[in-house]
Amino acid sequence: MSKFNILWLQSGGCGGCSMSVLNAESPDLFSSFKQNNINLLWHPSFSEETGSEFLDIITKIESGTLKLDALCLEGSVMMGPCGSGRFHLLSGTQRPMFDLIKSLSQKARYTLGIGSCASFGGITMAGSNPGEATGLQYEGKQSGGLLGSHWKSKGDLPVINIAGCPTHPNWVIETIIQLAMDALHIENLDSLQRPRSYTDHLVHHGCPRNEFYEFKASAEQPSEQGCMMEHMGCLGTQARADCNTRLWNGDGSCLRGGYACINCTAPEFEEPGHCFSETPKIAGIPVGLPTDMPKAWFVALSSLAKAATPKRIKINAISDHIVVSPGKLKKGQSNDNK
């Protein structure tokens, strides 16, 4: 059985997705690749080959003498200035990086956008976008990007967008293994071409603040324990990812660290139009409601939930630690909900 060859390139980004995959545990990144017959041809940080050795690998791939099964791009594609690509040239050459990416995409059986920058443009595309950054097959929410809306790889798949900022190590490794086993097909991708293995979930699933959410007992300041949806900008009820059930580094997630979910797996998350820690509202109702929930239902549910909130939960929601334990109130506190 021949090895499944992957090539990893970096473009306009911070390198955070590479740092993330290095945090894979049980097994680690390289053990996972070895166990599944995956061969990393080259990575800018992990590989020993540099300079002419790297260019020789590229020449062999483009000439067809070296098989490329998966091209992994981390970071957005830099098209500027004026579409020339000269803001990002392939080191040691005068070749625009976007030209190399486009060429290798035609040679690879599959092309993967690693992280939200490669997938949708991401943070690199924010603001006035002077670098003319874009994703491989999306520019924000608009399909197109470098390769165009209708592009498909030799493996008959569009760009596989493993979105996240950074992306979870297991999302990357799991997807590559599925490709190596010929077990990832178009029906395994969602409407934004992200693997459904993690986007069939919501960040809300498994959130440690769910009891507070159920009673609409909300945090009002940073470090408080209550639900952060109503006042603190949390988008966990809308964000497509399994961050709170497939934890980071064994036991972490943004919400477990006290930070609101900013929906970093979605296009244009980087420019919400307001502070990340604020919840936009109309007539006191959050603009962004939980997925699949009509506004009237949310209003009715919130009113009922708040009326039924136990005092324990009300007190703990606006505290930075558990003040009242379950079933037991401090001396002098009543057990009613008034």
pLDDT of 338 > 70? The answer is no
Residue 124: the pLDDT is: 96
- Statement: the pTM of the whole predicted model exceeds 0.85: yes
Task: Give me the domains of the chain, ranges plus CATH numbers.
Answer: 4-199 (3.40.50.700), 209-323 (4.10.480.10)
Residue 248 bridge partners (DSSP): 252
Write out pLDDT tens, residues 261-292.
999 999 999 999 999 999 999 888 888 888 88
Q: Phi and psi for 31 in degrees, rounded to 5? A: -65, -40
Residue 303: the pLDDT is: 87
Confidence grade of residue 333 (pLDDT, cut at 50, 70, 90): low
Write out pLDDT tens, residues 148-160.
999 999 999 999 9
Residue whose pair of structure tokens reads 């639900």 in the numeric block: 227
DSSP state of 218: B
Confidence grade of residue 242 (pLDDT, cut at 50, 70, 90): very high
Distance of CA 169 to the CA centre of its chain: 10
Say how far apart CA 34 and CA 66 lie, in whole Å: 19
Residue 331: the pLDDT is: 64
Percentage of the chain modeled with pLDDT above 90 = 85
Confidence grade of residue 328 (pLDDT, cut at 50, 70, 90): low
71 three-class SS: strand
What average pLDDT does this structure show over 239-248? 95
pLDDT of 334 > 80? The answer is no
Cis peptide before 166 (omega within 30 of 0): yes
> Cα dist. 320→203, 217, 258, 276, 317 in Å?
22, 14, 10, 20, 8
Alpha helices in the chain (DSSP H): 16-21, 29-35, 51-63, 97-107, 116-120, 169-180, 196-199, 210-214, 295-307, 311-317
